[in-house]
């Protein structure tokens, strides 16, 4: 059971906007910034969003994120077939003194 809760799956059609949620608690999301990773099969995770809503250089602005109290969400607009993969949220947990991940969300582009 992951400390951060994500829906196991999400889906959308090309061009659509989809959101993926990440629910935590005060000791993690409530106190620390949230990061999002894109995980393609056979490759290392890629940092997609850092510090709640910042995009590293090279990440398209189709990807955005937000945080509110103890939850966060990743939004992908203008959905493309290449976006079909797994997405993970992550943050630091002050109670566990550990970095924690969500269980991951598999995004399907219909």
Partner 1 sequence: QVQLQQSGPGLVKPSQTLSLTCAISGESVSSNSAAWNWIRQSPARGLEWLGRTYYRSKWYNDYAVSVKSRITFNPDTSKNQLSVQLNSVTPEDTAVYYCARDPGNLGYGMDVWGQGTTVIVSS
- What secondary structure letter does DSSP report for 32? S
> What is d(CA 9, CA 95) in angstroms, rounded to the nearest whole number?
28
Q: Is 45 an interacting residue with respect to partner 1 (CB under 8 A)? A: yes
Q: Is 39 an interacting residue with respect to partner 1 (CB under 8 A)? A: yes
In three-state form (DSSP H/G/I as H, E/B as E, the rest C), the secondary structure along 45-106 is CEEEEECCCECCCCCCCCEEEEEECCEEEEEECCCCHHHCCEEEEEEEECCCCEEEEECCEE
Q: Is 33 an interacting residue with respect to partner 1 (CB under 8 A)? A: yes
Binding span for partner 1 by CB under 8 A among 11-19, 48-56, 68-76, 77-85: 48-56
Report how many residues bind partner 1 under the rule CB under 8 A: 30
Q: Are 78 and 15 in contact (CB under 8 A)?
A: yes
Binding span for partner 1 by CB under 8 A among 17-25, 42-50, 74-82: 42-50
Please give the residue ranges that form the binding site for partner 1 (CB under 8 A). 2, 32-35, 37, 39, 43-47, 50-52, 54, 56, 88, 90-92, 96-104
């Amino acid at each position: 059971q992951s400390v951060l809760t994500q829906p196991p799956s999400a889906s959308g059609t090309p061009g659509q906007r989809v959101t993926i949620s990440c629910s935590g608690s005060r000791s993690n999301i409530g106190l620390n910034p949230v990061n999002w990773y894109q995980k393609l099969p056979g490759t290392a995770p890629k940092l997609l969003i850092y510090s709640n809503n910042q995009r590293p250089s090279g990440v398209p602005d189709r990807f955005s994120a937000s945080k509110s109290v103890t939850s966060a969400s990743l939004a992908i607009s203008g959905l493309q077939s290449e976006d079909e993969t797994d997405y993970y949220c992550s943050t630091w947990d002050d109670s566990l003194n550990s970095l924690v991940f969500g269980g991951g969300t598999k995004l399907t582009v219909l």
